[in-house]
Amino acid sequence: MVDFNRFTLANGLKVLVHEDPTTPMAVLNILYDVGARDEDPEKTGFAHLFEHLMFGGSVNVPNYDEPLQRVGGENNAFTSNDITNYYITLPAENIETAFWLESDRMLSLAFSEKSLETQRNVVSEEFKQRYLNQPYGDVWLKLRPLAYKKHAYRWATIGKELSHIENATMDDVKAFFKKHYTPQNAILVVGGNVKTAYVKEMAEKWFEPIPAGDKYVRDLIQEDLQTESRNETVKANVPLNAIYMAFKMPGRLNSDYYAFDLLSDILSRGQSSRLYNSLLKEQKLFSDINAYISSSLDAGLFIIEGKLVEGVTIETAEKAIWAELDKLKAEVVTDNELTKVKNKVESVLVFSEMSLLDKAMNLAYYELLGDAELLNQEAVEFLKVTAEDIKRISNETFGREKSSTLYYLTEKHA
């Protein structure tokens, strides 16, 4: 159970407070409701590049990191297709420094040319390090445009290509800031050894004077229902053949979300899972096999990916995955198997409450979903899922005509 208090400032900024007196630390987490899905298709990778620029100094504070380190704090951030999330952890008695720094960069950035130039390079190196210079690193750059034809999920957060990052201009940066980095578009969570009254006072002091800005109204093109199976083959300098299968599933707010989460657990959580036992251990077709969901806000993906044992043909491997999926469509899972994945989820939820930062991030994310209280309802939602639900969603999801399959083959077998 993660307790919290909640209030909204005059400029629309939502503030949540989680009091945890067991730690001497505090966390200030701010979620901006903007991700790669909000980008212009010709300027992809921008939300993430922008995240880097948020550390390049703000209008009144030339350096973001130094003053924070000076008070014993640390920070980081991440960008996804849906959100951009920034967080600070620091000794609770110095929490005002976090309010000062975080509010100034919401007020306005310094928009330094030097910072833009450097971060273009840094992000280009990140693109190379994580996506281009790694075996299988570019899978998501291939799989997304195969699975999505219209929706902005067709590109990865890093962007479609290096040139989009290299061509980013200061005008782009300023426009993006004005459009998305407003109090109305953000959720602030303060957690740790803090009191709500003090947080309110600090929030009113540092954040409330920031102009509300214009409300960004999201109007994304949604994906059409997929009606044909899609296939693509790439060959690359990798040692092993691999297969990636993506199926459309509903967005995060759909009532079946929890059933999908458990379905991916049945297939692939831990060494008692179906894919691991059947395909890796018994049939010895894969040296590595996983299933997971993308958990995105708009219609997401159910992914199955595996690396093939040398000598196994890709057709055999694919057929074996389908056999497992067809089994889920034909037979209900046993009570025992369903209880097992539910028990596991129960544990995961309890253990996740041991991290202050995780609690703060989760509160912000669930508030974005509509109500932070949803976080505390999760366990109940998982318990509601029935074996019939699993069978039903398997039938709704695992159709050939809804699949996007990528063969990622080694050149040496070419």
Partner 1 sequence: MLNRQLAPDFKQVSTINFIQPTQQALNNSIPVYTIYSGEQDLVRIEFIFNNVNWNVEKPLQAIAVSAMLNNGTSKLSAKDIAEQIDFYGAFFQTEYVQDHSTVTLYTLNKHLASVLPIVKNVLADSQFPQAEIDIYIQNQKQKLQVNLQKNDILARKEFAHALFGDTAYGVDIQAKHYDELKREDLISYFRSAYAPDNCTIVVSGKFEEASFHLLNEQFGRNWELGKALKNKFNFSLVPRTAIYKDRPDALQSAIRIGKLAVNRTHEDFPGLQILNTVLGGYFGSRLMNNIREDKGYTYGIGSGISSLQDAGYLFIATEVGAEVCSAALTEIYKEIELLKNELVGEEELTLVKNYMLGSMLGSLENVFSHADKFKNIHFFGLGYDYYENYIKKVKSITAEEIRALAIKYFNKEDFTEVVVGKK
Distance in Å, CB of 357 to partner 1, minimum: 8
Candidates 8, 343, 377, 395; binder of partner 1 (CB under 8 A) is 343
Integer CA distances (angstroms), 189 to 3, 19, 84, 147, 381, in order:
12, 11, 14, 34, 24
Candidates 40, 41, 69, 401; binder of partner 1 (CB under 8 A) is 69
Nearer to partner 1, 4 or 99 (CB): 99
Distance in Å, CB of 1 to partner 1, minimum: 11
In terms of phi and psi (left: phi > 0; alpha: psi -120 to 50; beta: otherwise), the region of 286 is: beta
* Full DSSP string of 270-320: STTSHHIIIIIIIS--EEEEEEEE---SSSEEEEEEEEEPTT--HHHHHHH
Sheet holding 186-192, edge to edge: 5-8, 14-19, 186-192, 25-32, 84-91, 74-79
Distance in Å, CB of 138 to partner 1, minimum: 11
Q: Which of residues 133-162 bind partner 1 (CB under 8 A)?
A: 133-136
Distance separating alpha carbons of residues 17 and 91, to the nearest angstrom = 16
Please report whether residue 70 would count as binding partner 1 according to CB under 8 A.
yes
Site string for partner 1, 81-100 (x = CB under 8 A): --------xxx-xx-xx-xx
Distance in Å, CB of 205 to partner 1, minimum: 7
Q: Which of residues 101-120 bind partner 1 (CB under 8 A)?
A: 103-104, 107, 117-120
Candidates 271, 380, 411, 414; binder of partner 1 (CB under 8 A) is 271
- Pick the stretch among 16-24, 253-261, 293-301, 395-403 that binds partner 1 (CB under 8 A): 16-24
Distance in Å, CB of 69 to partner 1, minimum: 4
Please report whether residue 313 would count as binding partner 1 according to CB under 8 A.
no
Number of residues that bind partner 1 (CB under 8 A): 83
Distance in Å, CB of 370 to partner 1, minimum: 27
* Full DSSP string of 71-106: TT-EEEEEE-SS-EEEEEEEEGGGHHHHHHHHHHHH
* Continuous segment of H or E residues that includes residue 186: strand 186-192
Please report whether residue 1 would count as binding partner 1 according to CB under 8 A.
no
Please report whether residue 21 would count as binding partner 1 according to CB under 8 A.
no
Nearer to partner 1, 341 or 406 (CB): 341
Distance in Å, CB of 295 to partner 1, minimum: 21
Candidates 178, 284, 327, 413; binder of partner 1 (CB under 8 A) is 284
Residue in the block written with tokens 């952890």: 89
Please report whether residue 411 would count as binding partner 1 according to CB under 8 A.
no
Distance separating alpha carbons of residues 253 and 273, to the nearest angstrom = 26
Distance separating alpha carbons of residues 159 and 169, to the nearest angstrom = 15
* Full DSSP string of 28-52: EEEEES--GGGS-TTSTTHHHHHHH
Candidates 5, 287, 290, 386; binder of partner 1 (CB under 8 A) is 287
Please report whether residue 251 would count as binding partner 1 according to CB under 8 A.
no
Candidates 2, 25, 152, 259; binder of partner 1 (CB under 8 A) is 25
131 φ, ψ (degrees, to nearest 5):
-115, -30
